[in-house]
Amino acid sequence: MGRRVLSASNFFPRGGSAHVIRALAERLPSEGWDVTILSGSRRDAGGHGDASRFYRGLDVHEVDFTAALSASDPMDPPGGAPPMHPSFEDRRDAPDRVFASLDDRALRERLRRRMHLVRLRTSAKGRIFGLQTQWGVRISLRRLRRADGMTLLERAGMPAVWRHSISECLALIDFLDARIVPLDAELRPFAQADPRAVLLDTIPGVAELLALTIAVEIGEISRFAGPEKLVSYGRLAPRVRQSGEGRPHTGPLNKSGSRLLGWAAVEAAQHAWRESNPWHQLYLDVGRRSRNHNSAKAAVARKILIAAWHMLSRNEPFKPAPRTGATSVPASSRLALAA
């Protein structure tokens, strides 16, 4: 009889521990161990949390919590259904809806890790665009990721060296996606449980994970006396130089403050090119004046942080002011903004 391991988890697959269990179960048989997994499971979340799918191909016995989740008291479901695990906190009257809470420092580190991975992925996508531009080629990333993507580049006249560079970038993107996707799934319950993130998610362009990032970096909104203080903390306030009574001159953005907060606001500002975005006209005006899309995105990012300050101070969702006939809005103005 071979050596046997029973790996049991009282939780449904939702975070790093489940990935560790799966990795060990896949590796231990090569070392002479037979592995059986006992795991909680839920089938009401579109696949995420379903132990039979997460541990597919392994010897897994699941304890299905789906019936308990629909019961009035998940800890005591009717009909003999398995109750939720003892640390279950997703009840309406629970003080904390996050299953296993992280302290602020640990949560912030996960968000910073996500920022690092996303920035690397964005850089790889930008390099693919630049390599194609050198040869007058424009093929979408989605199309390039298909089996015949490299063939399309060859037919377009791109030499093998450049095709290989693009292939390496695509492999890097796949590598990063494999790490970003589970991290996003791990962070999403925290975003859904944080009332500040739920409010910020109503800002156009701010999805739930960016909302969580902004909320965690801000902390208590009372720390900031006004929206301009929050903008400065997000490293989006330009430096101002003035000598005596002379005219003030603006310079590069101030580099003191939270890099993560500024990054999240600029990421959200990427959607300002859409006509439906409340700051679309601002994006066009600043881009036209500066001839720099980065300046336009920074201007919109400042507006997003101004909106965030008002929303969190009043505990109200985003509500854009009616658009006026004005053709230009200063980047530092509070016009066309109501939170």
pLDDT, one tens digit per residue, over 202-223 is: 999 999 999 999 999 999 999 9
Residue 164 has pLDDT above 90, yes or no: yes
- The predicted-structure confidence for 137-149, as pLDDT tens digits, reads as follows 999 999 999 999 9
Place of tokens 């060859």: 154
Q: Which of 90, 69, 68, 88 is nearest to 77 (CA)?
A: 68
pLDDT band with cut points at 50, 70 and 90 for residue 95: very low
Q: Which of 184, 180, 179, 178 is nearest to 209 (CA)?
A: 184
Residue 269 has pLDDT above 60, yes or no: yes
DSSP state letters, 288-315: HHHS-HHHHHHHHHHHHHHHHHHHHHHT
- Kindly give, in sequence order, each residue whose CB lies less than 8 Å from that of residue 170, ignoring residues fewer than 6 positions away: 128, 144, 145, 149
Q: Which of 263, 212, 209, 210 is nearest to 234 (CA)?
A: 263
Cα–Cα dist 96/87, whole Å: 11
Predicted pLDDT of residue 332: 45
Average pLDDT, the chain: 85
Cα–Cα dist 72/90, whole Å: 12
Predicted pLDDT of residue 10: 79
pLDDT band with cut points at 50, 70 and 90 for residue 240: low
The dihedral built from the CA positions of residue 273, 279, 285 and 291, taken in this order, carries a sign that is negative
Residue 151 CA from chain centroid, whole number: 33
DSSP state letters, 87-145: T---STT-S---SS---HHHHHHHHHHHHHHHHHHHHHHHHHHHHHHHTT----HHHHT
pTM of the model: 0.64
Predicted pLDDT of residue 245: 66
Q: What percent of the chain has pLDDT over 90?
A: 55
Place of tokens 């791990």: 186
Q: Which one of 21-30, 84-93, 102-111 scores highest in mean pLDDT? A: 21-30
pLDDT band with cut points at 50, 70 and 90 for residue 106: confident
The three-point CA angle 209-277-195 to 5° equals: 35
pLDDT band with cut points at 50, 70 and 90 for residue 131: very high
Residue 102 has pLDDT above 90, yes or no: no
Q: Which of 39, 43, 48, 35 is nearest to 17 (CA)?
A: 39
Provide the 10 A C-beta neighbour count for residue 256: 8
Number of helices (H), then strands (E), belonging to the chain: the values are 13, 5
Predicted pLDDT of residue 47: 61
Predicted pLDDT of residue 205: 94
Cα–Cα dist 222/66, whole Å: 40
- The predicted-structure confidence for 28-75, as pLDDT tens digits, reads as follows 898 889 999 999 888 776 566 888 888 889 999 999 888 887 777 777
Strand pairing category for 33-41 and 60-64: parallel
Place of tokens 């600043």: 286
pLDDT band with cut points at 50, 70 and 90 for residue 20: confident
Cα–Cα dist 282/273, whole Å: 10
Look at 255 and 243; give whichever has higher pLDDT: 255
233, 214 Cβ separation under 8 angstroms: no
